[in-house]
Copies of this chain bind each other. A is one copy, B any other.
Amino acid sequence: MRYSQLFGKTNKSAPHDADSANARLLVQAGFVRQEMAGVYAWLPLGLRALRNVEAIVRDEMNKLGAHEVLLPALQSKEHWDTTKRWDTVDVLFKVPSQTGKQYALGPTAEEVITPLVAQFVQSYKDLPLAVYQISNKYRDELRAKSGVLRGREFGMKDMYSFHLTPEDFQAFYDRTIPAYLNVYRRCGLDAKVVEASGGAFTTKHTHEFQVLTPAGEDKILTSKTGSFAQNIEISTLKAGDKNPDNGEELEVMTGVEVGNIFDLGSRFSEAFNLAVTDENGERKHLIMGCYGIGTTRLLGTIVEACNDAKGMMWPKSVAPYPVHLVSLSAKDPAEQEKVAATASALHDELTKAGFEPLWDERGASAGEKFADADLIGLPLRLVVSSKSLAQGSVEWKPRHEEEAKLVPLAEIVEHVTTFMNEPYETTSH
């Protein structure tokens, strides 16, 4: 992709109202545009990164044996009346229609998935079952903030599981924890499993997944080794106390919640009469679990955790392009032509090898191009210049390293292939 043809350019100045690193950097690098507070448009670079995050989430949910569906955002008021949540969920957008009806604009999908599953699950032999979707959700937040971390319209993977017994539910719930940790690890994040309250959606205790960064809204009481981790909302201990299990001292850290898993019990299955007859002929309401990952929030958290003073530092798995190829202008026309032809050939070779670069072929200065490359934060920067070509080489600099080195032009594709298959640690606060 030629940078000059890319839709959505970098901005020299940060948005004046950015209240977080992701709000500032995603906008400044041309990944998103704020449409209104809490509502963003995703530009090509941002959309590519978001699709990469979604693909990782999808892959881990599929490995759990969950089935992907796509549920509507417009939901039936009758179903929200059935669960008595129409008037109790304060962030619920209520959409009037010229037909006289009202719709809920889904902040979550229990009111859709439960009657849906009730239609298709008629026997305990159909259980356990897990169904998920990746779609936009809507919450009428009084205060949207922190860029894509807390929006009014946002992407979320929501999964629901259905079980005959509490034991079967617990077994699946326990399996989702390593799957969630895989998602975060693959996104370059170190997430902690934290005990928490269930918020507005359940009265039971639940687990959250927290990435410790100052941009978070949550306070986590935790220990150095992570042997203890509770949201302070539910903890009976405080900073300076010891972990009752091993005596480790506890401290309060700030985290971004990047996922949560809930035991919904039989609340929704009772409301919609989702029940099956078990092996003993007894009719039982199903036990349900709910498992969320905010996909746009997860992307924002990656930015919070992986950046430096110069810009973003994308993990390879999420980066919109793997390589930022820069060709520098030369004064001598013959040299200029040689640089352009070499960069063009390298662009094509890398693309053929499966590593399509973002190629900055503008006439801009080296300083401007390097600043943009650092801001956008692709994992590897390659620079073709008359200086590097005089040595038959290309300048090579991974985003998280300070020093550039020269790599022979003939070996670049091989080096890039090796680099892309290596583990890559981004800076995590």
Contact = CB atoms under 8 A, between A and B. Distances in A.
B7 A131 contact: yes
Nearest to A44: B67
A334 interface: no
Copies of this chain present:
2
Contact of A99 (B6, B7, B140): B140
A33 B113 CA distance: 11
A97 interface: yes
| Residue in A50, A67, A112 with the greatest tally of chain B CB atoms within 10 Å | A67
Interface in A1-36: 6-9, 30, 33, 35-36
B7 A67 contact: yes
A102 to B, nearest CB: 11
Interface string A79-121: 0000000000010011111110001010000001000100110
Given A7-B131, A97-B93, A131-B7, A112 B68 contact: no
A392 interface: no
B39 A74 contact: yes
A74 B33 contact: no
A8 B68 CA distance: 11
B42 A74 contact: no
A305 to B, nearest CB: 23
Shortest 7 CB-CB contacts between residues of A and residues of B? A7-B67, A42-B70, A39-B72, A74-B153, A41-B71, A39-B74, A72-B153
6 contacts: A35-B116, A36-B103, A43-B69, A44-B67, A94-B96, A95-B105
B74 A36 contact: yes
Given A47-B70, A70-B41, A112-B35, A9 B120 contact: yes
Nearest to A6: B67
Given A67-B44, A129-B7, A36 B138 contact: no
Nearest to A47: B70
Given A33-B119, A68-B47, A69-B43, A98 B105 contact: no
A152 interface: yes
A362 to B, nearest CB: 11
A75 interface: yes
A40 interface: yes
A57 to B, nearest CB: 15
A330 interface: no
A200 interface: no
A146 interface: no
Given A7-B69, A69-B44, A74-B39, A33 B98 contact: no
A252 interface: no
A429 B195 CA distance: 59
Contacts of A33: 116, 119
Contact of A95 (B8, B47, B68, B93): B93
A217 B131 CA distance: 35
Nearest to A130: B7
Given A47-B68, A105-B95, A112-B35, A74 B120 contact: no
A341 B153 CA distance: 49
A3 to B, nearest CB: 13
A153 B70 CA distance: 12
A41 B136 contact: no
A128 to B, nearest CB: 11
B112 A75 contact: no
A390 interface: no
B70 A73 contact: no
Contacts of A213: none
Most buried by B among A41, A42, A70, A142: A70
Interface string A232-247: 0000000000000000
A136 B73 contact: yes
B7 A120 contact: yes
Contact of A97 (B71, B72, B129, B140): B140
A336 interface: no
